[in-house]
Amino acid sequence: MNTTTSGTIMDELTAGAISPKDIVEELIGKIDIADASFQLTLFFIAFNPIFWNIIARLEHSTHFLTQLAGNNAKRGCYILAIIIFSLGIGRDMVFQETLNHQESSVLLELPLIRNLGVASFLIGQLLVITSMYQLGITGTYLGDYFGILMNERVTGFPFNVSNNPMYHGSTLSFLGTSLYFAKPSGVAITAFVYMMYCIALRFEEPFTAAIYAKRDAGKLSKNI
Ligand SMILES: *[C@@H]1O[C@H](CO)[C@@H](O)[C@H](O)[C@H]1NC(C)=O
Ligand SMILES: *[C@@H]1O[C@H](CO)[C@@H](O)[C@H](O)[C@H]1NC(C)=O
């Protein structure tokens, strides 16, 4: 592909001069999987949810963080929140670093794609920020594993548009950043993010449901 201006790419695309095979080859050709920071990004993306699930379950069974925080569950949860938040910052930094030196693709440099990237990022951030606002620190950062439960299920926005606005928002932010910078490697990383969150949810959702079911069973027996 020797064209460099998005105008001509657009012409070729609409004229059908570029086949789907060309598109896939062009995009995949721009991903350097041997790049150490690309690999480090994937490592962070996988490591973070595995780490917080292990720590949270340990906390649930041993209360080690609560004890570490002077027998204060809330403070224990804040410690975990700071660790998870910092890991997220680290992950975002290596992700940005990776995008900086992976190649862009002229196919993604179209103004339309760039605008989609901006929209995706803004919607993603909106979902993340509003769900954090709804849940608070302990609700966002696995407070239920510390025995800090929400009084009732949050049903307002963004929970009326997404079951997991935090994860969906984060995925949309990765996608938006990747499209904005026209990086096929970023899109590949986004697919990995999505996959890891799906796996994390398979562990987190049943566990959280069980914690709440236990609480509600307790409430019920008190009422009887
Ligand atoms: C670019 O590709 C077109 C065909 O797609 C070809 O006609 C043209 O000669 C090429 N230009 C350069 C500079 O390679
Ligand atoms: C979700 O809630 C918001 C705010 O209450 C509301 O404006 C929006 O229409 C709701 N969306 C859906 C799909 O119910």
Start-to-end C-alpha separation, the chain: 73
Looking at residue 215, its pLDDT comes to 86
Q: Which domain holds residue 85?
A: 33-216
Q: Which residues does 28 contact at the CB level (< 8 Å), separation at least 6? A: 184
> Sign of dihedral through CA atoms 206, 210, 211, 212?
positive
Q: Say whether 123 counts as a known binding-site residue.
A: yes
Stretches where the chain sits below pLDDT 70 are: 1-7, 220-224
Contact 50 CB / ligand 2 (< 6 Å): no
Contact 14 CB / ligand 2 (< 6 Å): no
Tell me if 64 is assigned to some domain. yes
This prediction's pTM: 0.86
Q: In angstroms, rounded to a whole number, what is the distance separating the alpha carbons of residues 142 and 42?
A: 23
Residue 170 backbone class (left: φ over 0; alpha: ψ -120 to 50; beta: rest)? alpha
CA angle 78–54–146, rounded 5-degree value: 40
Domain count within the chain? 1
Write the pLDDT tens digit of every residue in 141-157: 999 999 999 888 889 99
Q: Say whether 12 counts as a known binding-site residue.
A: no
Which bound ligand lies closest to the C-alpha atom of 165? Answer: 2
Tell me if 221 is assigned to some domain. no
Write the pLDDT tens digit of every residue in 92-117: 999 999 999 999 999 999 999 999 99
Which atom of ligand 2 is closest in space to residue 161's alpha carbon?
13
Tell me if 9 is assigned to some domain. no
Tell me if 169 is assigned to some domain. yes
Instruction: Output the furthest CA–CA distance in the chain (Å, rounded).
Output: 76
